[in-house]
Amino acid sequence: MAQCAEPTEYRLRAYPVIPARWLSYQEALPDTVTLSGTLAFPSTKSPRGIVCATDAYSRLMSKPLYQCLVFGNPSDDQLIAFSASFGDALHHFDLQAGTDFIIAVGITTDFVETVPTVAVFFGGAGTTLKEHAELVRLSIPIVPLVSSLKNVSAELPECLRAINALALTASDTGLLKPAAVALQCLGLLPSQRRVFLSYRRDESREVALQLFETLSAKQFDVFLDTHSVAAAVDFQTMLWHRLCDADVVVMLDTPSYFDSRWTKVEWGRAIDKHISILQVIWPGHTASRFARLAIPLSLQAGDLDGSRLSDPVVERIALGVEALRSRSIALRHANIAGGIRSAVEELGGSVEGYGPRRSIVLKLPSGAPLVAYPSVGVPTAVTVHEAVYDGDPRPAVVVYDHVGLSDHWMAHLEWMGTSFTSVRWLRSREVGWDLANLAEL
């Protein structure tokens, strides 16, 4: 039986982290070298590459915003793929390897206990986790990875078997799902994985239902108009509210998609909300519209089996959604953050820096500090909890995009604002107006 062993010193090879699109090019992979210590810093071979650094080098760096610790028995390819997907996702948030975040194998001497951290454990026969007690003491979430859920007992030490493991799949060669779960644990991605299906019922109803069932089974919260609106609820109001909360829109681009007023509006409003779109283009159809936020996925004649998609194509779509989530959330966060920066600078203040949970530290014209938390999607009481979680004594505001939210939910937010005064609510599209009204200005 695999047990959690006593601590021993790590000593292993440095692994280059290369963006997934480079993996087929051997010249992109630098020679493997041996270093003592494992803290990550940018590779000279890749703009977002990461290799392991010596502890002496890492001590020269400032405290990062996020840490990801890797344990267990990952193969070289797994470590490269995971680090590339994790690093690329953080790059979308404008976070740089080695300064804003690190990926380390094990706990190094430069590990910072107060920085938000996630641990990823690659299971295998006889693997141990000697640092388990330390991770528990620090309340660091652990993501156990196994080859199959049937192999949990054989591949995980006993101390991890109570944690729900994630099974690796052959189709996810880039380890997008493990990287996404790690980002969720760090608070960079929402724990609810929301997808909005946009389609013409008379052309793609069966495929929409197929994707609803498949993505739901993969733990996505999927909005399908025929299944996701309760009785006695204003249908259109709920549809727009759920669109606002979607991470990704999956658009089934059939020949008459843009002939419908409602699908045209769904497309336009998703773009207005800066939500990334996976544009699934029907066989033999040429897309009539493109957008900067839309990623095309063209189907071939053989991809449709009657009125349903083949299983490999459904898996491609699921992985496409997984890959788009971090980009979509990052773009929406950047849009709100950019508005905050512009507004505070127009008023004569400044942005002083960035903190955990995607927060922005502001200095108002009076010199008073203010911590802003851009909220992507529909804000909830959890949003308030995250804004006060770290016990920062500085005044805090949550900045959110109110357009499209239901009147019922807006009344709920107003109630929270008057009931919990430690955090104030600002509308992103009126942020300059609302900032000017703050007493601290």
Task: Convert the pLDDT of each residue in 367-410 to its tens digit.
Answer: 999 999 999 999 999 888 888 877 778 899 999 999 999 999 99
> At the topology level of CATH, where does 194-327 sit?
Rossmann fold (3.40.50)
The DSSP bridge pattern shows strands 304-305 and 308-309 to be antiparallel
Region for residue 100 given its phi and psi (left: phi exceeds 0; alpha: psi -120 to 50; beta: otherwise): alpha
DSSP codes, 317-376: HHHHHHHHHHHHHHHHHHHHHHHHHHHHHHTT-EEEEEETTTEEEEE-TTS-EEEEEEE-
The two tokens of residue 141 are: 């979430």
C-alpha to C-alpha distance for 165 and 310, rounded to whole angstroms: 28
Domain limits of the chain? 12-185, 194-327, 333-436
Domain 333-436 in CATH 3.40.1350:
yes
Q: What pLDDT is stored for residue 441 in this prediction? A: 66
397-425 mean pLDDT: 93
Kindly indicate the confidence band of residue 62, based on its pLDDT and cuts at 50, 70 and 90: low
Q: Looking at the predicted structure, is the pLDDT value of residue 345 above 90? A: yes
**pTM to 2 decimal places:** 0.80
Nearest CA among 128, 91, 127, 120 for reference residue 103 = 120
Residue 150, pLDDT above cutoff 90: yes
Q: DSSP letters of 226-263?
A: TTSS-TTS-HHHHHHHHHHT-SEEEEEE-TTGGGSHHH
Residue 301 binned pLDDT confidence (cut-offs 50, 70, 90): confident
pLDDT of residue 231: 86
Q: Can you tell me the mean pLDDT for 72-79?
A: 94
Place of tokens 């905050």: 340
**In degrees rounded to 5, what are phi and psi of residue 145?**
-115, 135
Dihedral of the alpha carbons of 96, 100, 105, 110, in degrees to the nearest 10 = 140
Query: Quick check: 93 and 28 in contact, CB under 8 A?
Result: no
Q: What is the DSSP letter of 97?
A: B
Amino acid at the residue 203: E
Residue 73 structure tokens: 């028995």
Q: Is the pLDDT of residue 28 over 60?
A: no
Q: How confident is the model at residue 48 (pLDDT cuts 50, 70, 90)?
A: very low
Q: Quickly tell me which residue has 């008459």 as its tokens.
A: 256
Q: What is d(CA 91, CA 96) in angstroms, rounded to the nearest whole number?
A: 6
Dihedral over Cα of 264, 265, 270, 273: its sign: positive
Q: What pLDDT is attached to residue 232?
A: 83
Collapsing DSSP to helix, strand or coil, 178 comes out as: helix
